[in-house]
Chains A and B, each alone.
Chain A
Amino acid sequence: MLSPPRHAPLVTTPMLITLGVLATTPLWLAHVGLYQYLALEIMIWMLFALGHNLLLGYGGLPSFGHGAYFGVGAYAFGLLQLRGGAGLVLGLIGAVLATAAIAALVAAFISHRRGIYYALLTIAFGQVAWFIAGKWHTVTGGEDGLLNIKRPDLSLGFVDIPLRSNEAFFYFALAVFALALIGLWRLVNSPFGRVLRAIKQNEMRAAFVGHNVWLYKWLAFTISAMVAGLAGALFAMAQQSAYPNVMSLHSSGFVVMMVLIGGGLVSFWGPVIGALVFILTRDLLGAYTETWLLWYGLVFIAMVLFQPDGVAGGWQAWRARRALAARDRGNDKQNHNHNVPLAAQTRET
């Protein structure tokens, strides 16, 4: 169960592996028959899913309308650039703040709820956002969306780095991803993250020991949506457009499927695994059959039935079994160590 390490270092081994693998993709991706844009898209979905899991995995708050905030980020970035002439950094900050403002308002309406009512409200608000995006032609461009969104140069003062190529933009997005990853890792291991988890496990008790449950839920939703907005802004640059489809119930469902398949309920890394599996499946299976989503859906059903803790959960269970076996072997040799609880031996790193 999402066991946190007692001390959470700023940077961890899985973090270095994830960033390392992503950073080297320009060297090997083409050789295995894939393409750089795929890595970019996977990374953006990883970010979106990580943000979603703050709410679902850590807060126990199911949002089935998170595509809306991804979309708000994408549209806000596009509008700031096309109408306001904002550059890269200003555009990103503006997109995140715009998402925060809208999410904060929505969160104010839903944070006194939980469970199914919470989920239904997130769907309702998500649909409202999707509908507005599709119909408000003068601002959002209607069904066509916003076209010709550029990838502005990264201006460092003394030098301007162009981000037009997929490789250059990938590295910029990787830097943003790395910062967000470290930030989220800190967050879930901070007092805030731990109280949020406690609220997930027992909301009533959390209130009775004096925590402001509503405020935690409100903040969790807002922060989670801000991460989605950041991912959406990157996506607008990646796609060089923003369109209503990303705000659909469909798209909101995809991120939930990523988080659950990867194992977001039991691991910080679940959403990362899930986004990788989902987009890769889409691309590889999608090359063979148009009905890839059907097969993916069936796998999803099987997962929920037989391995509800996802890929990460399977990995943790395997490690726990190994630790147990090793302990038993140790016990046979010299009968000690049996007081060490298993939970302490299989902590997530």
Chain B
Amino acid sequence: MSVALFEARQLHKRFGDQVVLESISLKFEEGELTGIMGPNGAGKTTCFNVLTGRFKPDRGSVRFAGEDITGLSPRQIARKGLSRSFQIMNLFDDETALDNVLIASPGVRRRGFSMWSDFGRDTAARDAAFAVLDRVGLAAKADAQAGSLSYGERRALEIGVALATEPRLLFLDEPTAGLGAEGTARVAELIATLKRQLTIVIIEHDMRFLFGLADRISVIHWGQVIAEGTPDELRENPWVQRSNLGMMS
């Protein structure tokens, strides 16, 4: 069996006396889209935070592209080609949509300590940033301030900023949170176009959304992975059926 692009083993995380992640093991294969689901408070977002370096795990290891990245800082993890979006949006609100993407780009990261050159003059980086905006459907809003965009547009920009770092593996934390049916459909469409271009992991409440997109799904509950498999396999799973998902198929 081939080595997975990303592998977390036996992750354990507690806050005070509360054990949030009991023992989580996850594998994400290159090029696949994996969904992570589970009820509220199951530890999904904490799991993401541990995987992307926001929290250090108490025990367990995380490997990415054959390298041990356990306990590295978010910055170091981002530089290795892992990127994430946030459930509660984290944008640079005073900047234009284009500059949000530009600031996240590897080009600006490399030139970040250049103190004399003009930020606005790097047309190659600007074109690349514009291409990212185009991918997330915000090309027409390039010059609008991020803070002035509509909720749905901000959701798209949230993904755009994560994409701008040119990741190999993209984590999306509830990309449809707060969106209506139409907005959710648009995000699904966007993610479908990204699928196969890079490895994607999505936390999502909306099961219909996830079952339509994911190659594999992991169900997290009580800080553990309680079920794993393809969407078809999971439809047979008792827990999934109990959560009324069976009615979907």
Contacts and interface: CB of A to CB of B under 8 A. Distances in A.
B119 A343 contact: no
Q: Which of A186, A195, A204 has the most CB of B within 10 A?
A: A195
Given A201-B92, A201-B94, A209 B118 contact: no
A192 B114 contact: yes
Interface of B: 52, 54, 73-75, 78-79, 83-84, 86, 90-96, 99, 103-104, 106, 108-109, 111-121, 140, 143-145, 148, 161-162, 164-165
A202 B116 contact: no
Nearest to A208: B74
Given A209-B78, A341-B144, A344-B143, A191 B161 contact: no
SS class, residues of chain A in contact with chain B: helix
A331 to B, nearest CB: 18
B116 A186 contact: yes
Interface residues of A, number: 38
Contacts, number: 120
Interface in A21-46: none
B103 A194 contact: yes
Interface string A305-349: 000000000000000000000000000000000010101100000
A205 B161 contact: yes
B115 to A, nearest CB: 5
A120 interface: no
A341 B90 contact: no
Interface of A: 1-8, 186-187, 189-195, 197-198, 201-202, 204-213, 215-216, 219, 339, 341, 343-344
Q: Which of A189, A205, A206, A215 has the most CB of B within 10 A?
A: A205
Contact of B148 (A187, A201, A204, A343): A343
B114 A195 contact: no
Contacts of B52: 208
B75 A5 contact: no
A213 B75 contact: yes
A192 B74 CA distance: 20
A208 B100 CA distance: 13
Contacts of B91: 202, 205
A190 B116 contact: yes
Given A3-B94, A201-B94, 16 more contacts: A8-B118, A186-B116, A191-B117, A192-B113, A193-B115, A194-B108, A195-B112, A197-B94, A201-B92, A202-B92, A205-B161, A206-B92, A207-B75, A208-B52, A210-B104, A210-B165
B109 A210 contact: yes
26 contacts: A5-B120, A7-B118, A7-B120, A186-B115, A191-B113, A191-B114, A191-B119, A194-B99, A194-B103, A195-B103, A198-B95, A202-B91, A205-B90, A205-B92, A207-B78, A208-B84, A209-B104, A209-B164, A210-B75, A210-B106, A211-B75, A211-B109, A219-B113, A341-B144, A343-B143, A343-B148
Contacts of B92: 197-198, 201-202, 205-206
Q: Which 6 A-B pairs have the closest CB atoms?
A: A210-B78, A209-B104, A1-B94, A205-B90, A6-B120, A191-B111
A261 B128 CA distance: 39
Given A205-B91, A208-B74, A209-B161, A189 B144 contact: no
Nearest to B122: A191
B136 to A, nearest CB: 15
B63 to A, nearest CB: 19
Nearest to A196: B112
A176 B102 CA distance: 34
